[in-house]
Amino acid sequence: MVWYVAVFAFYIVFLIWANLKSLKAAESIDDFAIGGHRLGLLMSIGTTTATWVSVASVIGIPGYLYSTGVATIIGWVAGWAFGGALLPLVAYKVRRPKVPARTFPEFVRFRFEPFKKKSSLQALVGILMFIGYLLLVNIQVTGFGIVFSTITGIKYEFAIFGFLLFILLTSLGGFWSVAATDTLNTLLITIGVILAAGVVLVLTGGMTNILDTLATTTAPTIVGGPELEKGILLSPVGSFGLGALFSIFISNSLGTPSSPHWVARMVAPKNIKIAILQIMGTIFLLIFIMGPLIIVGLGAKVLIPSLPVGKTTDYIVPLLIQEYMHPFIGAVILIAICAAAISTANSMLLHCATSLYYDVYLNISSKKVSDKGFRNWLRLSIFGIAIVAVLLAIKPPWFIAMGFTYVYGGFGAAFFLVVFFGLYWKRMNKAGAYTGILVGSVVYIIAKAMEATNPFVVAVTASLIGVLIAVFTTKKPPIEAYEPYFNAEVSKSTEELYAKIRD
Amino acid sequence: MFIAMMFWVGVMVFSVVLNTFLCYKVEKSGVKRWGATGRIFKYK
């Protein structure tokens, strides 16, 4: 316990220091919401990596590797990487305007309803974002609570309220605070997972032993459960089946580049090239995080052939730490998990609060607000939403990694066409955007409820048909709507419009 | 295991190729505001 307290105390001191420093950097609304569109490459890579690696990665991925084997690498690890690989296509366009949007809903407004004083489209997207990110923050809280309470013995309910302090500490300074703490969190996550993989390799006798065991084991995932088919853990499609694995891959990948927080992240760097290179750097850095996590998840099957009754696969990492690791190493890995949860939760919390306050409230009320007023109200929103997310986590609703897939799939279904058609097709208009969002989200929910094999594909197909009908039966969009995303220099009317919006 | 890992490696290679192409497009545009510096991977 002493080790845990000492390592955690050091971590908290750093968070406070980083937050206080960042408070000075965030002065304007742009600074607070999106880092003033002036993030450099190193900090961009740091914050992108830390946001990418969530609890779903650090706990959920080893859990799925443990129960379903290497198919997880295709469904999740490669799925997320493919989605990330498509992000530069968004960055290449969305970062073009001289006046970039501050938030994802504002981008949708600029692109489809630039002349409206109160944009119902911006509000609609803001509300959908609020719901999605509230669930995602909740998943991070739940994941952290499970790990922390299992390892330290502290009650789950106390652990999640402790987590509340961490995310508030890193969110209240706005985007700069999130980015600064994320960069350190990336380092901590990398060290933690490499250390964990090292211990697992030593304990299991190396990768050859792990693969030999996986090839022959039939031990059930949970004691008393059905025995596994021999060799299934090394099968590329595992127990999912090709259709289900494809569905997971598609949801994880295509949902990513159209997820609001990733689109917003693409406007934070100084320019397009840095936005593109940040993804390249992140995908490279992820080798040193995902690689060790793969070793941990697969090696766990050798060390703990079956989980005790009453535990889900989300508990595999905590159990490994508890049973096999020295308390100091355990504390470092716990910090890594904590860092993964914080860095994703704080970013999503910021987006969640911004969408509610900026995109819904300020947009609909048309109120003018000072920079200071904006910061204070946004902090209050962050505070309120964080409390709600923690209260919802008292009774956790679902498996962690799967929860991520549901929300990402939903975002993808609602926003995929809006983002990519909006950025690459001049003819895409307001009617198309409304249709795409509404049809995509409603069909996704219905397809999920009816347990369709690939709800994402069903929803995007339905959305595509709806969008094409809507676009070709309504008027072309005004030049002011698409010009900034296609041309380096814009017409006078577009320049005046943007100046008026920001005034 | 090999197929799964190759799938992941394939995605990473795709990412490098796509990013390089987009950086090339930024350079070709010559727009400094977008990050054009004269060299593909050089940034300011």
Q: Of A30-34, A81-85, A132-136, A286-290, give the lowest mean pLDDT range.
A: A30-34
Q: Which residue of B has its CA nearest to A207?
A: B1
Q: Of A26-30, A396-400, A428-432, give the lowest mean pLDDT range.
A: A396-400
- Chain A positions touching B36 (Cβ under 8 A) are 273
User: Of all helices (H) and strands (E), which one includes residue A485?
Assistant: helix A479-486
Which pTM was predicted? Answer: 0.89
Q: Which residue of A has its CA nearest to B22?
A: A92
Residue A267 neighbours by CB distance under 10 Å = 26
Q: Average pLDDT of A258-285?
A: 93
- List, for residues A462-503, the tens digit of each pLDDT value: 999 999 999 999 999 999 999 999 999 999 999 998 888 876
Could you state, in order of their start, the residue ranges of all structural domains in chain B?
2-34
Of the candidates A336, A257, A486, which has an alpha carbon nearest to the alpha carbon of residue B29?
A: A486
- List, for residues B1-44, the tens digit of each pLDDT value: 899 999 999 999 999 999 999 999 999 999 999 999 989 888 88
Alpha carbon A32 to chain centroid distance? 19
- Angle value at C-alpha A111, between A108 and A113, nearest 5 degrees: 80
Answer for the pair A35, A180: CB distance below 8 angstroms, yes or no: no
Backbone angles phi, psi at A61, to 5 degrees: -65, -50
Alpha carbon A3 to chain centroid distance? 30
Average pLDDT, chain A: 88
Name the residue facing A78 among B11, B35, B36 (closest C-beta).
B11
Q: pLDDT value at position A473?
A: 96
| A301 interface with B at CB cutoff 8 Å | no
- Mutation target for B interface from A93, A98, A208, A280: give the one with most B CBs within 10 A: A280
Q: pLDDT value at position A332?
A: 84
Give the Cα separation of A125 and B38 in Å (integer). Answer: 38
- Chain A positions touching B44 (Cβ under 8 A) are 270-271
The CATH number given to A2-365+372-502 is 1.20.1730.10
A282, amino acid identity: T
Answer for the pair A125, A105: CB distance below 8 angstroms, yes or no: yes
Q: pLDDT value at position A33?
A: 77
Q: pLDDT value at position A252?
A: 80
Backbone angles phi, psi at A265, to 5 degrees: -60, -30
Two structure tokens written together for A361: 């409230």
Two structure tokens written together for A71: 């198919």
- Chain A positions touching B15 (Cβ under 8 A) are 81, 84-85, 279-280, 283
Q: Which residue of A has its CA nearest to B32?
A: A271
Q: pLDDT value at position A19?
A: 76
Q: pLDDT value at position A240?
A: 82
CB contact under 8 A, B7 and A234: no
- Distance from the B21 Cα atom to the nearest Cα atom in chain A, whole angstroms: 10
| A352 interface with B at CB cutoff 8 Å | no
| A468 interface with B at CB cutoff 8 Å | no
Name the residue facing A85 among B7, B11, B23 (closest C-beta).
B11
Q: Average pLDDT of A200-225?
A: 93
Q: pLDDT value at position A26?
A: 65
Q: What percent of chain A has pLDDT over 90?
A: 45
Please list the alpha-helical segments (H only) found in A53-117: 55, 61-68, 71-72, 79-94, 104-112
| A202 interface with B at CB cutoff 8 Å | no
CB contact under 8 A, B29 and A89: no
> Is the pLDDT confidence value at A212 over 80?
yes
- List, for residues A364-419, the tens digit of each pLDDT value: 987 778 888 888 888 888 888 889 888 888 876 555 555 666 787 888 899 999 99
Q: pLDDT value at position A1?
A: 67
> Is the pLDDT confidence value at A29 over 90?
no
Among A121-130, A144-153, A342-351, the range of highest mean pLDDT: A121-130
Sign of CA dihedral A333, A261, A313, A238: negative
Please list the alpha-helical segments (H only) found in A315-370: 316-324, 327-354, 363-365
| A274 interface with B at CB cutoff 8 Å | yes
- Chain A positions touching B1 (Cβ under 8 A) are 70, 211, 234
Name the residue facing A71 among B4, B35, B41 (closest C-beta).
B4
Give the Cα separation of A464 and A187 in Å (integer). Answer: 41
Of the candidates B16, B44, B43, B39, which has an alpha carbon nearest to the alpha carbon of residue B27?
A: B39
CB contact under 8 A, A73 and B7: yes
A108, amino acid identity: V
pLDDT band at residue A27 using 50, 70 and 90 as cut-offs: low
Q: pLDDT value at position A431?
A: 97
Q: pLDDT value at position A373?
A: 85
CB contact under 8 A, A271 and B25: no
R_g (Cα) of chain B, nearest Å: 14
- List, for residues A49-67, the tens digit of each pLDDT value: 988 888 778 888 999 999 9
Q: Of A239-248, A256-265, A279-288, give the lowest mean pLDDT range.
A: A239-248
Residue A168 neighbours by CB distance under 10 Å = 17
Q: pLDDT value at position A405?
A: 63
- Distance from the A207 Cα atom to the nearest Cα atom in chain B, whole angstroms: 11
